[in-house]
Amino acid sequence: MKKFWNEKAETMPEEAIKASQLAKLRETLTWVYERVPFYRARFNEHGVTPEDLKNLEDLARFPFTIKSDLRDNYPFGLFAVPPEQCVRIHASSGTTGKPITGGYAREDMDQWGECMARTFWAAGIRPNDICQNTYTMGLFTGGLGFLLGTETLGATLVPAGAGQTERQIILIQDFKTTVIFGTPSYALTLAEKAAEIGVDLRETFLRIGIFGAEPWSEEMRREIEERMGITAMESYGLTEMGGPGVAFSCAEKRGLHINEDHFIAEIIDPVTEEPLPLGEKGELVLTAIRRRAMPLVRYRVRDLTRLYREPCACGRTLLKMDRVAARSDDMLIVNGVNLYPSQIESILLEIPEVSPQYVIVVSKKGYLDRLAVDVEARREIYDLGEEKLREIEEVIRHRIKGVIGLSAHVRVVPYKVIERSEGKARRVVDNRH
Ligand code: DLL
């Protein structure tokens, strides 16, 4: 049985990857310069043309694309082909303002399917697997992206869609589902519902899960593996780059391999906007070099990570990135202290009595900020009485103070008070503004 979906592409020597990136990048810069008035104007303002790209480092001379550029050019202003020549148009829901649109030409579907099939193969999925897709199959890129990947690989897809958790569990049992796709927070919802109705997911045929679309901690990954009896793998991507498929985990479960022959990744200092060397943490910037309907150049993703190249025991030579624990937009500043929700998650999940259902609430109290963390305990803990719950609150408070340096109001709330996720979980409520 083959070890890689695309051995040649996934194990190329670094020099060969770079040579192919340079050629594809040149093609893409010319493509957008000639076809997208926005890019022509932007490049001209910066005094660069595609001919100025002599080597990969020259990419840093080109301007960034940012989220508001997509909003300002909504819906099709950044398309390099007329919308009627696209075979698909997706959009991200977006919490504020207009959604982000993404067009796909015929060859973009092939590119996407290829990247997804690599993700699946690396996770251990094979053509005889039955994959249950709990991502919403609509405008969101998760659902149809995972569908495309399953079809490309030749496995079986059960398009269950989001929600209807009890029915999902019945399908897992009746269809002998072996693979589950969804957000990490939905995996928890599933595991919890299964326990409630007396189904032990560890005794089903489930063996692999591919999760993504939201940040999750290493502790959360282990929790999911344990509760579902599966290997929890990961997919990373975003609507602006076509959806999931940008990067994927391998059997090493350390970091994600970037599909470098499709996307060029850079890390910049979010404040100075200067490129940072490999190994340093900063903001991810991506350029799609094989997409045709809407290839974005130097797109500032806002996700924080680190890039590194190391010989991976899986045999892939593709550049690696750390799992994305936070978006720069997610950073809360509470009484002057920087706080990422993932830090709270890691602390909570190290406490055995606590469940991964939590919400962080920030509000104003006079001139000061007030940080509150509501969390549920594991079900059986509630039987131990109020005193035990207060004790747990104290432990959490103490840890948060010790690790982050903030005083938090911690409440162990009754079971099921925290809203269960069917897609991307909402972990933060900021009531200060
Ligand atoms: O969430 C695409 C996707 C679907 C990826 C399914 C993986 C699986 P958007 O809705 O545009 O696209 O959201 C993109 O979600 O910038 C990250 O902040 C976050 N994100 C996506 N994957 C991961 C991940 C899809 N594996 C935004 N870890 C990105 C952490 C992730 N954050």
pLDDT recorded at residue 96: 59
Q: Which residue has the higher pLDDT, 326 or 88?
A: 88
Q: Average pLDDT for residues 396-411, to the nearest whole number? A: 96
DSSP E strand stretches across 77-221: 88-92, 100-104, 130-133, 156-158, 179-182, 208-212
Q: Residue 35 pLDDT > 80, yes or no? A: yes
CA atoms of 74 and 101, how far apart (whole Å):
7
* Overall CATH class of domain 331-430: alpha beta
H-state helical runs in 128-285: 141-153, 165-174, 184-196, 218-228
Q: Which residues pair with 92 in a beta bridge?
A: 100
Q: Quickly count: other Cβ atoms within 10 Å of residue 97's Cβ.
A: 10
**Is the separation of the CB atoms in 81 and 88 below 8 Å?**
no
pLDDT recorded at residue 329: 81
The dihedral through the CA atoms of 221, 222, 223, 225 has a sign that is positive
Reported as half-sphere exposure (CB side, CA atoms, 13 A), residue 255 has a value of 20
Cα–Cα distances (Å) from 275 to 92, 204, 241, 246, 309, in that order, read 28, 47, 20, 20, 16
∠ CA(366), CA(367), CA(368), 5° rounding? 95
CA atoms of 328 and 301, how far apart (whole Å):
9
Going from the Cα of 212 to the center of ligand 1, the distance in angstroms, rounded, reads: 6
CA atoms of 56 and 314, how far apart (whole Å):
27
**Out of 135-144, 156-165, 319-328, 396-405, least confident range:** 319-328
- The pocket around ligand 1, CB under 6 angstroms, is made up of 92, 135, 141-142, 212-215, 234-239, 243-244, 301, 303, 323-324, 327
CA-proximal residue: ligand 1, atom 9 (nearest): 238
Going from the Cα of 239 to the center of ligand 1, the distance in angstroms, rounded, reads: 8
Phi, psi dihedrals of residue 221, rounded to the nearest 5°: -60, -45
Q: How is the chain split into domains, by residue range?
A: 1-327, 331-430
Q: Which atom of ligand 1 is nearest to the CA of 246?
A: 5
* Average pLDDT along the chain: 96
Nearest CA-CA partner of 22 in 47, 54, 50: 54
Q: Residue 219 pLDDT > 80, yes or no? A: yes
Q: Which atom of ligand 1 is nearest to the CA of 240?
A: 11
Q: Residue 403 pLDDT > 80, yes or no? A: yes
> pLDDT category, 420, cuts 50, 70, 90?
very high
The length of the chain in residues reads 433
CA atoms of 242 and 138, how far apart (whole Å):
14
Q: Quickly count: other Cβ atoms within 10 Å of residue 413's Cβ.
A: 15
Q: Average pLDDT for residues 133-149, to the nearest whole number? A: 97
Q: Residue 37 pLDDT > 70, yes or no? A: yes
Q: Average pLDDT for residues 395-409, to the nearest whole number? A: 96
Q: Quickly count: other Cβ atoms within 10 Å of residue 432's Cβ.
A: 11
The residue with tokens 């747990």 is 392
Q: Is 155 left (phi over 0), alpha (psi -120 to 50) or beta?
A: beta
Q: Which atom of ligand 1 is nearest to the CA of 135?
A: 6
Ligand 1, residues 217, 303, 426: which to mutate, most atoms within 8 A of Cβ?
303
Ligand 1, residues 185, 236, 302: which to mutate, most atoms within 8 A of Cβ?
236
CA atoms of 348 and 418, how far apart (whole Å):
15
Going from the Cα of 394 to the center of ligand 1, the distance in angstroms, rounded, reads: 34
Q: Which atom of ligand 1 is nearest to the CA of 210?
A: 8
CA-proximal residue: ligand 1, atom 20 (nearest): 213
pLDDT recorded at residue 1: 80
Q: What global pTM score does this model have?
A: 0.94
pLDDT in tens, 155-210: 999 999 999 999 999 999 999 999 999 999 999 999 999 999 999 999 999 999 99
CA atoms of 117 and 126, how far apart (whole Å):
10
* HEC profile of 373-386: EEEEECHHHHHHCH
Please give the CATH number for the structural domain made up of 1-327: 3.40.50.12780
Going from the Cα of 69 to the center of ligand 1, the distance in angstroms, rounded, reads: 19
**Is the separation of the CB atoms in 62 and 14 below 8 Å?**
no
Q: Residue 44 pLDDT > 70, yes or no? A: yes
Crossing angle for the helix pair 386-403 and 341-349, to the nearest 10 degrees: 130
pLDDT in tens, 380-397: 999 999 999 999 999 999
CA-proximal residue: ligand 1, atom 1 (nearest): 213
pLDDT in tens, 267-321: 999 999 999 999 999 999 999 999 999 999 999 999 999 999 999 999 999 999 9
pLDDT in tens, 65-103: 999 999 999 999 999 999 999 999 999 976 556 789 999
**Is the separation of the CB atoms in 247 and 257 below 8 Å?**
yes
